[in-house]
Amino acid sequence: MSDPVTSAFAPFSAPRGGVYVVFVGASLKPGPIPQKYLARAADQIAKAAKAANFLGKSLTFMDLLAPSGIDCERLLVIGVERDKEKKTTDFAELGGFALGKIGKSKNATVAFAAPDGEWDADAAADFMLGAHLRAYRFDKYKTKVKPEDRPQPLHLTIDVANVAGAQAAAGARKAVASGVELARNLVNEPPNVLFPVEFAARASELKKLGVQIDVLDEKAMSKLGMGSLLGVGQGSSRESRVVIMRWNGAGNKKAKSVAFVGKGVCFDTGGISIKSAAGMEDMKGDMAGAACVTGLMQALASRKAKVNAIGAIGLVENMPGGDAIRPSDILTSMSGQTIEIINTDAEGRLVLADVLWYVQDKYKPVFMVDLATLTGAILVALGVEQAGLFSNNDELAARLVEAGLATGEKVWRMPLSKAYDKIIDSKFADVKNAGGRHAGAITAAQFLQRFVNDVPWAHLDIAGVGMASPSTEINQSWGSGWGVRLLDRLVADHYEK
C-alpha cells in the first residue's frame, strides 16, 4: 500500500538527467518553451518517429534511449494529438499514462507545455493528480516481494510556465488524491481485517481533520428502530455500526448540509440465499459505496471545502448464521414501513433504507446521494464503463452527469416510475425487498425512493465500477476509489459558499 512518487513544480530548465518527458502533436515538435533545450535532439525525434511510424496521436509514445545532445538517460516523447471524438485533453489521464511509461526510473522531469502553446496551471495540477493516482499500490500483505518488483521511489519534477499557479491548484488535487487512496485502501482490505467495527474506527480517524464523528452501535440503532439494517447483520457474530461524519466548512455554519450515504456490507455471503462459491471472494468489496463516502469526507476536509457536508455509512456483515433473516421474514424499518424478505442477498437496500431515512429526518439536507454496489442487473445494463444514476430531481441528476464527464467517472441516468413499484408491492407487508429478474436495478432504486420523502435524491449503483473494474491510466487497483472525484467535483462546482 504505497504511492512511491514525490512531485514538485519548477520553472522550465535544461533536462536534469533521468527521464525527460515532452509532448508532441502531428508536427512532432515539442512545446515552444522547452524546445530550446531540445534543439540538438529535434532531428532524432523526427528520425525515430519516421522509423517507428509514430504520428503523435493522443496517448501514444516513443522512447529514445541515451539521446545525443541532451542530458538525460531517456527522452520520452508522448503524443497528444486528439482525434475528432476527443475534443479536450484529460490531463489526469495524461499524467497517469506518462507515469506508466516512466516506469521504474528514480528521477523524471516533465516539460509540461502544449505543442501549440502553453497549458494552464489547472492542467498541470490535474496531470500531477493523475500521476499519483496511477502510482498507487496495495501490497501491505505481501511478504515475499522480489527486489525487482518492489516500487522504486520516483521524484517527479513538472516544469511549468506558472509555478505558483500550479502549486496553488495542486493543493486541492492532493486532497482529492488522499481521499481516493483512502477509499481504495478500504475496498482492498480483507474482510477479516475490515469488519464493521474496524471500518467505523478507521472512519473515526477523520476527527484529526476536523470532521465530527458519531458512531451508532447496535443498542443505539435498536432504540432508533433501525430494524431493516439490524436485520441484515443479525446472522453475523460481528456487530453492525452506522457512522455519521460531519464537515462544517461553510461560511454560514447554519447553512443546510449536502449529504452522502454509502452501503457498507463488509462481506456479503448472500445470507441464507447464499451466493455461489465462484467469485464470492469479490464480496469483500461490497462496501465500496461506504469507502467512497469516507474518502470523499477526507477530501473535503483536507482541502477545507466551503460546504457543510454529511457522510453516513451503514456497516454490516451479511452472514448465514443461526440468527440470520430468512426469506418470508418481515422487518420493520426506522420509517415504520414493513419489508417482506424475498431474497436475503438483496441486503444492501435494507441497509440504505434506514440510513437514508435517518439522514433525511434528522438533518433535512439540501440533497442526498447514495452509492452502493447494489445490483448485478446494473452490470448487465451498463457493463463496467458507467455507474447507473437514478434520481427524483432533474437538476441534481444533470449536475452529476456533468461532474461525471468532467472527471471521467461517468454516470448514465436510468428511469424511475410508479409502474415499477408494482413489482415490489408485497402481499404481506408494505414492500418486498426483491421483485425478480426483470428491471432489477430499477426496482432496487424504486425501493430506496420509498425512504427519502421529498428530499432531492440520487442513487448511484456502482456495482460495475467500484471494484474489479478494468485498469485505466489512473487506476491499476482492484478497488478503484470510484466516486470520490465525481462527488468532490459536484460539491466544488455547485455547492460551496
Tell me, yes or no, if 275 is annotated catalytic. yes
- What's the Cα-to-Cα distance from 135 to each of 7, 132, 151, 370, rounded to whole Å? 12, 5, 9, 28
> How many other CB atoms are found less than 10 A from the CB of residue 202?
16
Distance, in Å, from the CA atom of 65 to the CA atom of 294, rounded to the nearest integer, reads 44
Within 13 Å and on the Cβ side, how many CA atoms surround 380? 10
Distance, in Å, from the CA atom of 374 to the CA atom of 321, rounded to the nearest integer, reads 22
Q: Which residues of 284-313 are buried (b: 16+ CB within 10 A; e: fewer)?
A: bbbbbbbbbbbbbbbbbbbbebbbbbbbbb
336 Rama sector, left if φ>0, alpha if ψ -120 to 50, beta otherwise = left
> Which helix (H) or strand (E) segment is 295 a member of?
helix 288-302
Alpha-carbon dihedral sign for residues 213, 219, 220, 222? positive
- What's the Cα-to-Cα distance from 55 to each of 32, 80, 99, 140, 231, rounded to whole Å? 19, 10, 21, 41, 60
Burial zone of 393 (CB within 10 Å; 0-12 exposed, 13-18 middle, 19+ buried): middle
Catalytic residue among 349, 399, 410, 485: 349
- 312 beta partners: 244, 261
Tell me, yes or no, if 349 is annotated catalytic. yes
N- to C-terminal Cα distance for the chain? 35
Catalytic residue among 29, 256, 275, 306: 275
Instruction: Report residue 425 as a C-alpha cell.
Output: 408491492
Using an 8 Å Cβ cutoff, are 96 and 134 in contact? yes
> Which helix (H) or strand (E) segment is 258 a member of?
strand 258-268
β-strand 61-65 against 74-79: which pairing, if any?
Answer: antiparallel
271 Rama sector, left if φ>0, alpha if ψ -120 to 50, beta otherwise = left
DSSP 171-212: HHHHHHHHHHHHHHHHHHS-TTTS-HHHHHHHHHGGGGGT-E
User: Which residues belong to the active site?
Assistant: 275, 349
